[in-house]
Amino acid sequence: MLFWSCCAPSEDPNQLRFEISTDENLPSKLFDDPPSVIPTLLMSQPGGKAAGVAQVPKLKQLAAEDEDLGKDQPTVFTPISAVAGRKCTLLSARTGTRTAAEYAVDADLLQLTVQATGSSERPEVLHRCPLMHIEDIYIVEDGEDCFPPGIIELLTPEEKDGLFMIVHSVDDPNADVAHLCLVEASRSDRDNLLEHLRDVTCS
């Protein structure tokens, strides 16, 4: 069985790290060492730049709107709030946009689902991430160069602490890995979510 071990201490107390333990009978591991270059669809575009990156004043306005949308959710992450759904911001390097969204963790299906927020009875599903397909998770403490070009520019300075990126494989064996960039309300909420994902995967 593949599983994440407890977070290992590091020289930098602010950096979240995962160590991987594997059963000797399995040939692969869930999380590899961070690659020096992260493959993204954006790299195939001219200049590797995200189109339409918003300016700082516009970012602050969008961040304020996202905050308003999330006022009705618990201020502190809990596993129960992850099941019910938590407001977040979805970032797209391909389009250079940020979208107010909601993620939920299904422990039975071992899946994280991100959907659009709104009054629709059937919200649009924006992204599905099977937890067992996760290859790596990056946070801003790992270095801003770990994220696709244009992602950091979509954030206000205050939002960087809540940023994380999940790299996971997809069903098509010929396709590149997918990159899911989300922003939680705070660093502690982000860290608690990542710990919860590890616990769910290990159970």
The whole-number average pLDDT for the span 138-158 is 96
Q: Is residue 181 pLDDT above 60, yes or no?
A: yes
Q: Among residues of the chain, what percentage have pLDDT more than 90? A: 57
Q: What is the pTM for the complete model shown? A: 0.65
SS (H, E, C) the chain: CCEECCCCCCCCCCCCCCCEECCCCCCCCCCCCCCCCCCCHHHHCHHHCCCCCCCHHHHHHHHHHHHHHCCCCCCCCCHHHHHHCEEEEEEECCCCEEEEEEEEEECCCCEEEEEECCCCCCCCEEEEEEHHHEEEEEEHHHCHHHCCCCCHHHCCHHHHHHEEEEEECCCCCCCCCEEEEEECCCHHHHHHHHHHHHHHHHC
pLDDT tens string 91-102: 999 999 999 999
Q: Is residue 4 pLDDT above 50, yes or no?
A: no
